[in-house]
Amino acid sequence: MMIGITGTPGTGKTTVAHELCARGHMVTALSTTITPYIIERDEVRDTLVIDEESWAREFPRVEGFVEGHLAHLLPCDLIVVLRCRPDVLAGRLRARGYPEAKVRENVEAEALDVALIETLEEFRGDQVLEIDTTERDFGECASLIEEFSQGKIPPSFGNIDWSGYLGEEV
Ligand SMILES: Nc1ncnc2c1ncn2[C@@H]1O[C@H](COP(=O)(O)OP(=O)(O)OP(=O)(O)O)[C@@H](O)[C@H]1O
Ligand SMILES: [Mg+2]
């Protein structure tokens, strides 16, 4: 089985993936697979532009967890969408030294449910688990993901509404 872990930058994908790895699961960090597909560096947005279509098309089928903000573009069997309340997400991104424009762009995307909406464009609802990481530590998140992947907890999504944070200072 291939299980994706996606979400806005800062929601904790890499952190939870490290924990899953420590628990003995196979984990692929998608950031290590994009190099051949880089088109350019977007200096203004301080981000890499990659040929997402070719990357997704040529991605080999792997076993275990695949972690990264483009995981929902891959043909995963199950997909986990990590979420984080916008004000808390802003704190995590600032702590990482992200410039303010990049903090705002990501916080806005999170408040607009962009990662979930993109996921639901590619997957059936019964393949999707949305996890609010705001008040869960990475160990709890890892346990939920393990249980979901084992069919012990059902798919669920759509219980998060952060529209109140849209356009707010965070
Ligand atoms: N469950 C959590 N609770 C509190 N803080 C967390 C949690 N998960 C991650 N963090 C913290 O949030 C920050 C971002 O986490 P992480 O790097 O795992 O995010 P990411 O989703 O992989 O981001 P990116 O898409 O940029 O790679 C880190 O400082 C991490 O310690
Ligand atoms: Mg990461």
* pTM exceeds 0.85 for this model: yes
Q: Give the model confidence (pLDDT) of 44-72 as tens digits.
A: 888 899 999 999 999 999 999 999 999 99
111 CA from centroid of ligand 1 (Å): 17
144-159 pLDDT tens trace: 999 999 999 999 999 9
* Domain residue ranges of the chain, discontinuous segments joined by +: 2-162
Question: Alpha-carbon dihedral of residues 2, 119, 122, 39, nearest 10 degrees?
Answer: -90
Mutation choice for ligand 1 from 15, 27, 72, CB with most ligand atoms inside 8 A: 15
Among protein residues, the one with the nearest Cα to ligand 1's atom 25 is 9
**pLDDT average, residue stretch 30-40:** 97
Classified by CATH at the fold level, domain 2-162 comes out as Rossmann fold (3.40.50)
pLDDT in tens, 78-91: 999 999 999 999 99
Indicate which residue's Cα is closest to atom 29 of ligand 1: 92
How does the average pLDDT of the chain come out, rounded? 97
- Is 40 in contact with 81 (CB distance < 8 Å)? no
- Which residues lie across from 131 on neighbouring strands? 82
Name all residues whose Cβ lies below 6 A of ligand 1: 7, 9-15, 69, 92, 95-96, 133, 136-138, 141
Question: Which amino acid, one-letter code, is at 42?
Answer: D
